[in-house]
Every structure is written in structure tokens, then in C-alpha cells.
């Protein structure tokens, strides 16, 4: 892991280079930042959207993660932050029209609890997910509703004391996939399968989406959090900054 980010100034000055074979992932501890420092990076529409978020923690997450990715993109493109304009796909995934050395910039954002993730790469669709483990979650009910038959069978074959961990591992992998393809849950979480095996770090997502092979990578586990990244690149170099 590189480039320790301990305060706002260091985050702004973070230097990184992109390629089609490399993804940069930034881990944000929201407790280290003041959301007021990021408001200036948001558009009027984004400020209005943030103000509609009633839960203070969620509003804090939105402002910091949205402002941070815009600042990173502005640094990368050598533009002012107010020149970075987010457009949105049919299902609400943000993107920008600006290119980096004639390459399309692909990025994705996720947050849960006190942490957030930002993933950035070139030309290849990318999705990232972070989930804080809720030890009271009814994983049996959720897996019955959202997991594919293959995943349900794999989960039930595990010892009971291993199922919750496997459920969350599968959940972040599945979420990172639907975020990569840009459809969100509209695609149907039970239409594809991921491995629930902790040792299967570059598992192939079983899906017919765009007739591509989608590869899922585990990023890190810490403090009851699980994370995953999905892209259609095999053996991608992932650089994690925290």
C-alpha cells in the first residue's frame, strides 16, 4: 500500500498515473476529513442533493467522496475542479466526457460506515464496493432473495460459523460487478454468480453481460469491512492508497 493519506492537503496533492492495465484505489477514512472542506468542489445540483440527505453521516459521506473524486480527476486532467462536470448514465452511474491522453477515464465510488473507496482506471469499466459487516444481519434471508442458485448451494455447503463471512464476501463481489456494468440492482443480483471462496481472489464472474469475462478482485479486509473490485481486465495492477 502506498501514499498514506492523513489529511485534506495530502489527499489533494496525491500524484498518480493511469493506464489500461492499472487501477488506483483510494481508501478514505471519513473521520479524518471535514465535509465543509469539500463542499466547494460540488456543483449547485450536488449541494442540493446533499442537503436532501437527512442522515448526517450519509450526507458527510456523499460530500467528501464526491468532492474527493472530482478533485482527483481535476488534478489528473490539470483542470480546475469546477470544470469537472459529472454526467449520468441511464441507471445513475456518474461519468465524465473528458479524456486522458485519448483514453476514457473510468471511475467508481462506494462508501459504508466510516470508510469510502474511489477506484479509477482507463478504458475499462470498473466497479468497487465496501461493506461494513453487520453481525445482526439475516444473511439467510438476504441470500435466499438475492443470491443465484450456485451461490446459495455454495453457501449452504459451508460450516455455519463460516457462512456470514462468505455471505459478505459474495455480497461485495456482486455489488462491485453490478456497479462496474453500470446497471445497479436493475440487472438482477440473482442473474449471475461469484465465488464465495476467500482464496479465490481473481474469480471470474459468471455472467453473459456484453459477452465479456469479468474479473473480481478482493482488495483488503479490516475492522469488520470487506471490499472488492470488478473489471473486465485479467491480472490488473491495483495500487491501493490509504
* CATH code of the domain in which 204 resides: 3.90.470.20
10 phi/psi in degrees, rounded to 5: -60, -35
What was the pLDDT predicted at 155?
A: 96
- Does some domain include residue 84? yes
What was the pLDDT predicted at 241?
A: 87
What was the pLDDT predicted at 15?
A: 67
- Does some domain include residue 3? no
Tally of domains in the chain = 1
Q: Is the pLDDT of residue 10 over 60?
A: no
- Rounded distance between C-alpha atoms, residue 87 and residue 160, angstroms: 44
- Does some domain include residue 24? yes
Neighbours of 176 (CB within 10 A): 30
Q: Is the pLDDT of residue 184 over 70?
A: yes
- Does some domain include residue 115? yes
The burial class, CB within 10 Å (0-12 / 13-18 / 19+), for 43 is middle
- Does some domain include residue 1? no
- Does some domain include residue 213? yes
What was the pLDDT predicted at 3?
A: 33
- Does some domain include residue 163? yes
Range of the structural domain that residue 65 is part of: 8-241
- Does some domain include residue 136? yes
Amino acid at each position: 500500500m502506498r501514499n498514506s493519506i492523513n489529511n485534506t492537503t495530502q489527499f489533494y496533492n496525491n500524484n498518480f498515473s493511469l493506464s489500461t492495465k492499472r487501477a488506483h484505489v483510494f481508501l478514505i477514512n471519513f473521520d479524518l476529513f471535514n465535509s465543509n472542506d469539500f463542499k466547494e468542489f460540488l456543483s449547485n445540483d450536488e449541494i442540493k442533493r446533499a442537503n436532501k440527505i437527512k442522515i448526517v453521516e450519509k450526507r458527510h459521506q456523499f460530500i467528501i467522496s464526491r468532492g474527493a473524486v472530482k478533485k482527483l480527476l481535476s488534478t489528473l486532467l490539470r483542470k480546475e475542479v469546477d470544470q469537472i462536470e459529472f454526467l449520468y448514465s441511464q441507471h445513475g452511474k456518474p461519468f465524465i466526457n473528458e479524456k486522458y491522453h485519448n483514453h476514457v477515464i473510468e471511475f467508481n465510488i462506494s462508501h459504508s460506515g466510516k470508510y469510502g473507496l474511489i477506484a479509477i482506471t482507463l478504458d475499462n469499466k470498473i466497479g468497487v464496493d465496501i461493506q461494513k459487516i453487520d453481525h445482526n444481519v439475516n444473511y439467510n434471508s438476504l441470500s435466499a432473495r438475492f443470491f443465484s442458485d450456485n451461490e446459495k448451494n455454495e453457501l449452504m455447503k459451508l460450516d455455519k460459523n463460516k457462512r456470514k463471512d462468505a455471505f459478505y464476501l459474495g455480497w461485495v463481489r456482486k455489488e462491485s460487478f453490478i456497479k462496474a456494468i453500470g446497471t445497479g440492482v436493475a440487472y438482477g443480483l440473482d442473474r449471475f454468480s461469484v465465488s464465495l471462496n476467500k482464496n479465490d481472489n481473481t474469480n471470474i464472474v459468471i455472467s453473459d453481460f456484453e459477452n465479456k469475462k469479468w474479473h473480481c478482485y478482493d482488495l483488503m479486509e479490516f475492522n469488520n469491512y470487506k471490499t472488492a473490485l470488478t473489471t473486465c481486465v485479467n491480472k490488473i495492477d491495483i495500487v491501493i492508497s490509504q
